[in-house]
Structure 1
Amino acid sequence: MAQRTRTASGTRMHKVVVLGECAVGKSALTMQYVRHQFVDYHNPTLEDEYTRKTTVDDILVELDILDTGGLSSLATRSIRRQYLRGAEGFLIVYSVTDKRSFAELDQWLTLIERARRYDQVPSVLVGSKTDLAESRDVSRYEGEQLAAKLGCPFVEVSALNRSGVDDAFHELVREIRRKEKIEQFKLISESQEESRLSNTTKHRSKKSIKARSGHRSSNVVCRAWRKLCSH
Protein backbone atom coordinates (compact mmCIF):
# COMPACT_ATOMS: atom_id res chain seq x y z
CA MET A 1 0.00 0.00 0.00
CA ALA A 2 1.31 3.45 -0.91
CA GLN A 3 2.39 5.80 1.87
CA ARG A 4 0.35 8.94 2.45
CA THR A 5 2.61 11.97 2.56
CA ARG A 6 2.38 15.69 3.21
CA THR A 7 4.60 18.60 2.26
CA ALA A 8 6.41 20.76 4.85
CA SER A 9 3.45 23.16 4.76
CA GLY A 10 1.03 20.32 5.54
CA THR A 11 -0.43 20.08 2.03
CA ARG A 12 -1.50 16.57 1.08
CA MET A 13 0.81 15.12 -1.58
CA HIS A 14 -0.29 12.45 -4.05
CA LYS A 15 2.27 10.35 -5.92
CA VAL A 16 0.90 9.44 -9.35
CA VAL A 17 2.36 7.65 -12.35
CA VAL A 18 1.59 8.15 -16.04
CA LEU A 19 1.81 4.81 -17.88
CA GLY A 20 1.40 3.69 -21.47
CA GLU A 21 3.17 2.66 -24.64
CA CYS A 22 5.78 4.76 -26.40
CA ALA A 23 4.49 7.78 -28.38
CA VAL A 24 0.95 7.79 -26.98
CA GLY A 25 1.40 11.34 -25.67
CA LYS A 26 2.23 10.78 -21.99
CA SER A 27 4.88 13.48 -21.86
CA ALA A 28 2.81 15.95 -23.86
CA LEU A 29 -0.09 15.36 -21.49
CA THR A 30 2.10 15.81 -18.39
CA MET A 31 3.89 18.91 -19.69
CA GLN A 32 0.62 20.54 -20.69
CA TYR A 33 -0.78 19.92 -17.23
CA VAL A 34 2.30 21.02 -15.28
CA ARG A 35 3.63 23.86 -17.45
CA HIS A 36 0.73 24.70 -19.75
CA GLN A 37 2.99 24.02 -22.71
CA PHE A 38 2.53 21.72 -25.68
CA VAL A 39 5.66 19.68 -26.38
CA ASP A 40 5.48 17.78 -29.66
CA TYR A 41 8.79 15.98 -29.13
CA HIS A 42 10.19 14.27 -26.07
CA ASN A 43 12.91 11.66 -25.69
CA PRO A 44 10.85 8.47 -25.24
CA THR A 45 13.53 6.78 -23.11
CA LEU A 46 13.46 9.42 -20.36
CA GLU A 47 11.57 9.23 -17.11
CA ASP A 48 10.82 12.64 -15.65
CA GLU A 49 9.30 13.67 -12.35
CA TYR A 50 7.27 16.85 -11.90
CA THR A 51 5.32 18.49 -9.10
CA ARG A 52 2.36 20.82 -9.25
CA LYS A 53 0.10 22.32 -6.64
CA THR A 54 -3.54 22.46 -7.61
CA THR A 55 -7.00 22.76 -6.11
CA VAL A 56 -9.43 19.92 -6.61
CA ASP A 57 -12.96 20.44 -5.29
CA ASP A 58 -11.78 23.37 -3.13
CA ILE A 59 -8.99 21.34 -1.50
CA LEU A 60 -5.34 22.21 -2.13
CA VAL A 61 -3.10 19.27 -3.02
CA GLU A 62 0.32 18.74 -4.51
CA LEU A 63 0.86 16.15 -7.21
CA ASP A 64 4.18 14.35 -7.54
CA ILE A 65 3.93 13.09 -11.13
CA LEU A 66 6.21 10.47 -12.66
CA ASP A 67 6.13 10.54 -16.46
CA THR A 68 7.52 7.12 -17.39
CA GLY A 69 9.68 6.52 -20.43
CA GLY A 70 8.10 4.78 -23.36
CA LEU A 71 10.25 1.68 -23.72
CA SER A 72 8.22 -1.43 -23.00
CA SER A 73 10.96 -4.02 -22.51
CA LEU A 74 10.57 -6.39 -19.58
CA ALA A 75 13.82 -5.09 -18.08
CA THR A 76 12.57 -1.52 -18.11
CA ARG A 77 9.22 -2.57 -16.69
CA SER A 78 10.97 -4.47 -13.92
CA ILE A 79 12.88 -1.34 -12.94
CA ARG A 80 9.65 0.63 -12.82
CA ARG A 81 8.07 -1.67 -10.27
CA GLN A 82 9.58 0.43 -7.50
CA TYR A 83 7.52 3.37 -8.79
CA LEU A 84 4.41 1.24 -9.16
CA ARG A 85 4.58 0.09 -5.54
CA GLY A 86 4.86 3.63 -4.20
CA ALA A 87 2.22 5.29 -6.38
CA GLU A 88 -1.21 6.25 -5.07
CA GLY A 89 -2.77 6.34 -8.51
CA PHE A 90 -2.21 5.84 -12.23
CA LEU A 91 -3.11 7.55 -15.47
CA ILE A 92 -3.21 4.71 -18.00
CA VAL A 93 -2.77 6.33 -21.41
CA TYR A 94 -3.33 5.13 -24.98
CA SER A 95 -3.63 7.02 -28.24
CA VAL A 96 -7.01 7.07 -29.98
CA THR A 97 -5.03 7.01 -33.26
CA ASP A 98 -3.17 3.80 -32.38
CA LYS A 99 -5.16 0.59 -31.96
CA ARG A 100 -2.04 -1.28 -30.85
CA SER A 101 -1.49 1.07 -27.90
CA PHE A 102 -5.07 0.32 -26.81
CA ALA A 103 -4.54 -3.44 -27.14
CA GLU A 104 -1.27 -3.26 -25.19
CA LEU A 105 -3.04 -1.80 -22.14
CA ASP A 106 -3.60 -5.34 -20.86
CA GLN A 107 0.13 -5.71 -20.31
CA TRP A 108 0.33 -2.48 -18.32
CA LEU A 109 -2.67 -3.48 -16.23
CA THR A 110 -1.03 -6.84 -15.52
CA LEU A 111 2.17 -5.05 -14.52
CA ILE A 112 0.26 -2.90 -12.01
CA GLU A 113 -1.58 -5.95 -10.66
CA ARG A 114 1.67 -7.86 -10.11
CA ALA A 115 3.34 -4.91 -8.41
CA ARG A 116 0.42 -4.10 -6.14
CA ARG A 117 -1.08 -7.58 -5.74
CA TYR A 118 -4.44 -7.27 -3.99
CA ASP A 119 -4.24 -3.52 -3.44
CA GLN A 120 -7.00 -1.75 -5.41
CA VAL A 121 -5.16 1.20 -6.95
CA PRO A 122 -7.06 4.30 -8.13
CA SER A 123 -6.72 4.70 -11.88
CA VAL A 124 -8.06 6.75 -14.76
CA LEU A 125 -8.12 5.50 -18.34
CA VAL A 126 -7.01 8.24 -20.76
CA GLY A 127 -7.46 8.33 -24.54
CA SER A 128 -5.05 10.92 -25.93
CA LYS A 129 -4.64 12.83 -29.22
CA THR A 130 -8.33 13.51 -29.80
CA ASP A 131 -7.37 16.52 -31.94
CA LEU A 132 -6.33 14.02 -34.65
CA ALA A 133 -9.95 13.13 -35.36
CA GLU A 134 -9.27 12.15 -38.98
CA SER A 135 -6.79 9.51 -37.78
CA ARG A 136 -8.91 8.06 -34.97
CA ASP A 137 -8.58 4.29 -34.72
CA VAL A 138 -10.15 3.68 -31.29
CA SER A 139 -13.71 4.86 -30.74
CA ARG A 140 -14.86 6.63 -27.61
CA TYR A 141 -17.28 3.76 -27.04
CA GLU A 142 -14.37 1.26 -26.88
CA GLY A 143 -12.63 3.41 -24.29
CA GLU A 144 -15.79 3.74 -22.23
CA GLN A 145 -16.39 -0.01 -22.33
CA LEU A 146 -12.87 -0.80 -21.13
CA ALA A 147 -13.12 1.79 -18.34
CA ALA A 148 -16.45 0.27 -17.23
CA LYS A 149 -14.78 -3.16 -17.16
CA LEU A 150 -11.91 -1.78 -15.08
CA GLY A 151 -14.25 0.18 -12.82
CA CYS A 152 -12.43 3.47 -13.33
CA PRO A 153 -13.20 6.90 -14.88
CA PHE A 154 -12.52 7.51 -18.56
CA VAL A 155 -11.29 10.78 -20.06
CA GLU A 156 -10.34 11.68 -23.62
CA VAL A 157 -7.75 14.43 -23.94
CA SER A 158 -5.82 16.56 -26.36
CA ALA A 159 -2.47 17.89 -25.18
CA LEU A 160 -2.42 20.19 -28.22
CA ASN A 161 -5.52 22.20 -27.29
CA ARG A 162 -5.51 21.20 -23.58
CA SER A 163 -8.95 19.63 -23.81
CA GLY A 164 -9.59 17.24 -20.90
CA VAL A 165 -6.05 17.56 -19.51
CA ASP A 166 -7.02 18.96 -16.10
CA ASP A 167 -9.98 16.57 -15.93
CA ALA A 168 -7.71 13.53 -16.25
CA PHE A 169 -5.47 14.47 -13.31
CA HIS A 170 -8.29 15.83 -11.16
CA GLU A 171 -10.38 12.69 -11.64
CA LEU A 172 -7.41 10.69 -10.43
CA VAL A 173 -7.21 12.82 -7.27
CA ARG A 174 -10.92 12.20 -6.70
CA GLU A 175 -10.39 8.45 -7.12
CA ILE A 176 -7.57 8.53 -4.56
CA ARG A 177 -9.83 10.36 -2.13
CA ARG A 178 -12.64 7.85 -2.68
CA LYS A 179 -10.30 5.01 -1.83
CA GLU A 180 -9.11 6.79 1.31
CA LYS A 181 -12.70 7.32 2.47
CA ILE A 182 -13.48 3.64 1.90
CA GLU A 183 -10.40 2.63 3.89
CA GLN A 184 -11.33 5.01 6.71
CA PHE A 185 -14.88 3.63 6.77
CA LYS A 186 -13.53 0.08 6.96
CA LEU A 187 -11.21 1.00 9.82
CA ILE A 188 -14.06 2.64 11.74
CA SER A 189 -16.34 -0.34 11.07
CA GLU A 190 -13.68 -2.82 12.17
CA SER A 191 -13.00 -0.78 15.32
CA GLN A 192 -16.71 -0.65 16.15
CA GLU A 193 -17.07 -4.39 15.55
CA GLU A 194 -14.08 -5.14 17.79
CA SER A 195 -15.57 -2.89 20.47
CA ARG A 196 -18.95 -4.64 20.14
CA LEU A 197 -17.39 -8.09 20.43
CA SER A 198 -15.32 -6.96 23.41
CA ASN A 199 -18.39 -5.57 25.16
CA THR A 200 -20.34 -8.73 24.39
CA THR A 201 -17.56 -10.87 25.85
CA LYS A 202 -17.40 -8.71 28.99
CA HIS A 203 -21.18 -8.86 29.37
CA ARG A 204 -21.21 -12.63 29.06
CA SER A 205 -18.35 -12.87 31.54
CA LYS A 206 -20.22 -10.73 34.07
CA LYS A 207 -23.37 -12.85 33.64
CA SER A 208 -21.33 -16.00 34.15
CA ILE A 209 -19.71 -14.63 37.31
CA LYS A 210 -23.09 -13.50 38.61
CA ALA A 211 -24.62 -16.90 37.87
CA ARG A 212 -21.79 -18.71 39.67
CA SER A 213 -22.10 -16.31 42.60
CA GLY A 214 -25.85 -16.92 42.77
CA HIS A 215 -25.32 -20.65 42.64
CA ARG A 216 -22.86 -20.51 45.54
CA SER A 217 -25.26 -18.35 47.58
CA SER A 218 -28.05 -20.83 46.94
CA ASN A 219 -25.86 -23.70 48.11
CA VAL A 220 -24.98 -21.82 51.29
CA VAL A 221 -28.67 -21.21 52.05
CA CYS A 222 -29.53 -24.88 51.41
CA ARG A 223 -26.78 -26.12 53.70
CA ALA A 224 -27.87 -23.72 56.44
CA TRP A 225 -31.50 -24.87 56.09
CA ARG A 226 -30.57 -28.54 56.22
CA LYS A 227 -28.46 -27.92 59.32
CA LEU A 228 -31.32 -26.09 61.02
CA CYS A 229 -33.79 -28.87 60.22
CA SER A 230 -31.51 -31.55 61.66
CA HIS A 231 -31.66 -30.01 65.14
Structure 2
Amino acid sequence: MEINIQAVPTGVCLIVDDAGLGMGQEEKDRAAALLSPQAAISVSSLGIPPQFGFAVSGMLAARYGFRVSVDSVSPYGGVRAVVLIPDELLTTEVPQPAAPAEAPETYDAYGTQQEPEAAQPDRWQQAPAPAPTPLFPPADRRPDTATQQLAQITTTSGGLPKRRRKSPVSAVPPAAPQPVRSNEETASRLGAFQRGTRSGRDTTTTTEGSEIQ
Protein backbone atom coordinates (compact mmCIF):
# COMPACT_ATOMS: atom_id res chain seq x y z
CA MET A 1 0.00 0.00 0.00
CA GLU A 2 1.23 3.45 -0.92
CA ILE A 3 -0.21 6.77 0.29
CA ASN A 4 0.50 10.10 -1.41
CA ILE A 5 -0.75 13.64 -0.77
CA GLN A 6 -1.38 15.98 -3.67
CA ALA A 7 -2.61 19.57 -3.63
CA VAL A 8 -5.48 20.42 -6.00
CA PRO A 9 -7.29 23.73 -6.70
CA THR A 10 -10.21 22.85 -4.43
CA GLY A 11 -8.25 21.31 -1.54
CA VAL A 12 -6.02 18.29 -0.91
CA CYS A 13 -6.23 14.73 -2.26
CA LEU A 14 -5.13 11.65 -0.32
CA ILE A 15 -4.29 8.91 -2.88
CA VAL A 16 -4.15 5.33 -1.59
CA ASP A 17 -2.85 2.66 -4.03
CA ASP A 18 -3.66 -0.91 -3.05
CA ALA A 19 -1.72 -3.91 -4.37
CA GLY A 20 -4.55 -6.41 -3.81
CA LEU A 21 -6.72 -8.41 -6.23
CA GLY A 22 -8.78 -5.42 -7.33
CA MET A 23 -12.54 -5.20 -7.88
CA GLY A 24 -14.79 -5.90 -10.82
CA GLN A 25 -17.12 -3.31 -12.29
CA GLU A 26 -20.13 -4.56 -10.32
CA GLU A 27 -18.24 -4.30 -7.04
CA LYS A 28 -17.05 -0.81 -7.98
CA ASP A 29 -20.63 0.32 -8.68
CA ARG A 30 -21.84 -1.08 -5.37
CA ALA A 31 -18.94 0.64 -3.50
CA ALA A 32 -19.71 3.95 -5.23
CA ALA A 33 -23.34 3.69 -4.10
CA LEU A 34 -22.31 3.11 -0.47
CA LEU A 35 -19.84 6.02 -0.58
CA SER A 36 -22.43 8.43 -2.00
CA PRO A 37 -23.84 10.95 0.50
CA GLN A 38 -27.42 10.26 -0.67
CA ALA A 39 -27.18 6.48 -0.26
CA ALA A 40 -29.78 4.76 1.94
CA ILE A 41 -27.88 2.08 3.81
CA SER A 42 -29.44 -0.94 5.52
CA VAL A 43 -27.62 -3.67 7.37
CA SER A 44 -29.21 -6.35 5.21
CA SER A 45 -27.67 -4.81 2.10
CA LEU A 46 -24.13 -5.14 3.49
CA GLY A 47 -23.91 -8.87 2.89
CA ILE A 48 -23.28 -11.88 5.11
CA PRO A 49 -21.23 -11.24 7.08
CA PRO A 50 -21.88 -7.46 6.84
CA GLN A 51 -19.08 -5.39 5.28
CA PHE A 52 -19.08 -2.01 6.99
CA GLY A 53 -15.98 -0.45 5.40
CA PHE A 54 -17.54 1.46 2.50
CA ALA A 55 -20.77 2.14 4.42
CA VAL A 56 -18.97 3.80 7.37
CA SER A 57 -16.69 5.76 5.01
CA GLY A 58 -19.77 7.09 3.15
CA MET A 59 -21.45 8.16 6.43
CA LEU A 60 -18.33 10.03 7.59
CA ALA A 61 -17.96 11.70 4.17
CA ALA A 62 -21.58 12.89 4.30
CA ARG A 63 -21.20 14.18 7.87
CA TYR A 64 -17.95 16.14 7.41
CA GLY A 65 -18.16 17.14 3.72
CA PHE A 66 -15.32 15.25 2.00
CA ARG A 67 -15.63 12.80 -0.95
CA VAL A 68 -14.29 9.26 -1.46
CA SER A 69 -14.01 7.36 -4.77
CA VAL A 70 -12.68 3.86 -5.60
CA ASP A 71 -13.34 3.71 -9.34
CA SER A 72 -9.69 3.85 -10.42
CA VAL A 73 -7.16 1.06 -10.86
CA SER A 74 -3.93 1.12 -8.87
CA PRO A 75 -0.67 0.84 -10.83
CA TYR A 76 0.10 -2.11 -8.52
CA GLY A 77 -2.93 -4.06 -9.81
CA GLY A 78 -5.31 -3.29 -6.98
CA VAL A 79 -7.73 -0.45 -6.29
CA ARG A 80 -6.89 3.23 -6.05
CA ALA A 81 -8.93 5.13 -3.45
CA VAL A 82 -8.97 8.93 -3.62
CA VAL A 83 -10.11 11.11 -0.68
CA LEU A 84 -10.78 14.76 -1.58
CA ILE A 85 -10.65 17.14 1.39
CA PRO A 86 -11.96 20.62 0.50
CA ASP A 87 -10.32 23.84 1.63
CA GLU A 88 -13.13 24.44 4.14
CA LEU A 89 -11.92 21.50 6.21
CA LEU A 90 -8.27 22.55 6.16
CA THR A 91 -6.58 24.81 8.68
CA THR A 92 -3.22 26.49 8.98
CA GLU A 93 -0.59 25.43 11.45
CA VAL A 94 -0.62 27.51 14.61
CA PRO A 95 2.90 28.79 15.34
CA GLN A 96 4.26 27.55 18.63
CA PRO A 97 5.58 30.15 21.08
CA ALA A 98 9.33 30.36 21.26
CA ALA A 99 10.87 28.49 24.16
CA PRO A 100 12.41 30.72 26.84
CA ALA A 101 16.14 31.09 26.64
CA GLU A 102 17.96 28.95 29.17
CA ALA A 103 20.54 30.46 31.47
CA PRO A 104 24.13 29.59 30.51
CA GLU A 105 25.68 26.80 32.52
CA THR A 106 28.49 27.81 34.84
CA TYR A 107 31.34 25.68 36.15
CA ASP A 108 33.61 26.19 39.12
CA ALA A 109 37.39 25.76 39.23
CA TYR A 110 37.08 21.97 39.52
CA GLY A 111 34.80 21.64 36.48
CA THR A 112 31.68 20.93 38.52
CA GLN A 113 28.47 22.36 37.13
CA GLN A 114 26.84 24.90 39.38
CA GLU A 115 23.09 25.32 39.53
CA PRO A 116 21.75 28.90 39.63
CA GLU A 117 20.53 29.82 43.09
CA ALA A 118 16.98 31.03 43.38
CA ALA A 119 16.37 34.22 45.30
CA GLN A 120 14.96 33.46 48.72
CA PRO A 121 12.02 35.55 49.99
CA ASP A 122 12.65 37.86 52.90
CA ARG A 123 10.41 35.79 55.14
CA TRP A 124 12.86 32.88 54.84
CA GLN A 125 15.74 34.89 56.24
CA GLN A 126 16.51 33.91 59.82
CA ALA A 127 16.37 36.66 62.42
CA PRO A 128 19.51 37.23 64.53
CA ALA A 129 19.57 35.21 67.74
CA PRO A 130 19.14 37.25 70.96
CA ALA A 131 22.07 37.63 73.33
CA PRO A 132 22.21 34.84 75.97
CA THR A 133 21.06 35.77 79.46
CA PRO A 134 23.59 34.84 82.22
CA LEU A 135 22.31 32.43 84.87
CA PHE A 136 23.91 34.40 87.71
CA PRO A 137 24.24 38.19 87.47
CA PRO A 138 27.73 39.54 88.27
CA ALA A 139 28.15 40.67 91.88
CA ASP A 140 28.73 44.39 92.42
CA ARG A 141 31.86 44.29 94.56
CA ARG A 142 35.41 45.57 94.53
CA PRO A 143 38.17 43.24 93.43
CA ASP A 144 40.01 41.64 96.30
CA THR A 145 43.72 42.03 97.03
CA ALA A 146 44.60 38.71 95.39
CA THR A 147 43.04 39.83 92.11
CA GLN A 148 44.99 43.10 92.24
CA GLN A 149 48.22 41.18 92.75
CA LEU A 150 47.82 39.12 89.55
CA ALA A 151 50.40 39.91 86.95
CA GLN A 152 49.29 41.48 83.71
CA ILE A 153 49.50 38.99 80.81
CA THR A 154 51.28 40.15 77.68
CA THR A 155 52.69 38.34 74.67
CA THR A 156 56.20 38.17 73.27
CA SER A 157 57.15 38.78 69.63
CA GLY A 158 56.63 35.05 68.99
CA GLY A 159 53.07 35.12 70.32
CA LEU A 160 53.88 33.33 73.62
CA PRO A 161 52.32 34.57 76.88
CA LYS A 162 54.61 36.63 79.10
CA ARG A 163 53.99 37.33 82.76
CA ARG A 164 54.92 40.75 84.09
CA ARG A 165 56.22 40.76 87.64
CA LYS A 166 54.85 43.13 90.17
CA SER A 167 56.38 44.33 93.44
CA PRO A 168 55.91 41.83 96.32
CA VAL A 169 53.37 42.68 98.91
CA SER A 170 54.40 42.28 102.55
CA ALA A 171 52.11 40.13 104.66
CA VAL A 172 53.00 42.12 107.86
CA PRO A 173 51.25 45.48 108.06
CA PRO A 174 53.64 48.45 108.38
CA ALA A 175 54.23 49.81 111.90
CA ALA A 176 52.62 53.02 112.92
CA PRO A 177 55.00 56.03 112.78
CA GLN A 178 56.57 56.98 116.15
CA PRO A 179 55.83 60.45 117.52
CA VAL A 180 58.73 62.92 117.39
CA ARG A 181 60.05 63.86 120.89
CA SER A 182 60.81 67.42 121.79
CA ASN A 183 64.21 68.60 123.06
CA GLU A 184 62.94 69.14 126.62
CA GLU A 185 61.59 65.60 126.80
CA THR A 186 64.88 64.18 125.54
CA ALA A 187 66.91 66.21 128.07
CA SER A 188 64.61 65.14 130.92
CA ARG A 189 65.02 61.44 130.01
CA LEU A 190 68.83 61.78 129.84
CA GLY A 191 68.91 63.55 133.23
CA ALA A 192 66.84 60.83 134.84
CA PHE A 193 69.14 58.18 133.34
CA GLN A 194 72.24 59.94 134.78
CA ARG A 195 70.66 60.32 138.19
CA GLY A 196 69.74 56.67 138.27
CA THR A 197 73.26 55.67 137.29
CA ARG A 198 74.82 57.91 139.95
CA SER A 199 72.47 56.60 142.63
CA GLY A 200 73.44 53.05 141.75
CA ARG A 201 77.15 53.79 142.09
CA ASP A 202 76.68 55.46 145.48
CA THR A 203 74.76 52.50 146.82
CA THR A 204 77.47 50.08 145.71
CA THR A 205 80.28 52.14 147.41
CA THR A 206 78.42 52.32 150.73
CA THR A 207 77.84 48.58 150.77
CA GLU A 208 81.49 47.78 150.10
CA GLY A 209 82.68 50.14 152.92
CA SER A 210 80.47 48.46 155.46
CA GLU A 211 81.83 45.03 154.63
CA ILE A 212 85.48 46.21 155.12
CA GLN A 213 84.89 47.52 158.62
Name the TM-score class by shorter chain. Answer: under 0.3
- Determine which structure has the larger helix proportion and give its number: 1
TM-score by length of 2: 0.23
| Larger RCO of the pair (alpha carbons < 8 Å, separation 6+) | 1
